[in-house]
Amino acid sequence: MAERFERHRQPWTPDEVQKLHTLAKKGMPLRAIAKALTRSEESVKTRAKLDGLGIAALR
């Protein structure tokens, strides 16, 4: 069973958005960014797409 996130449907704070931009620019994979922000991978992927960020794929 997948991990359950207690922060379901919580709005993004400016600090979280800034951290997302920083981690994405460093080339961190989606799973690591999601864990660092305590958000689901889908949530992080959606927000990154809205902001026009590219997320590194696991190799």
pLDDT tens track, the chain, 59 positions: 556 656 677 899 999 999 999 999 998 999 999 999 999 999 999 999 998 888 877 65
User: Residue 48 in contact with residue 27, Cβ under 8 Å?
Assistant: no
pLDDT at 21: 93
Q: Any alpha helices (H) in the chain, and if so which ranges?
A: 14-25, 30-37, 41-51
Question: What predicted TM-score, i.e. pTM, was given to this entire model?
Answer: 0.79
pLDDT at 6: 63
pLDDT at 55: 83
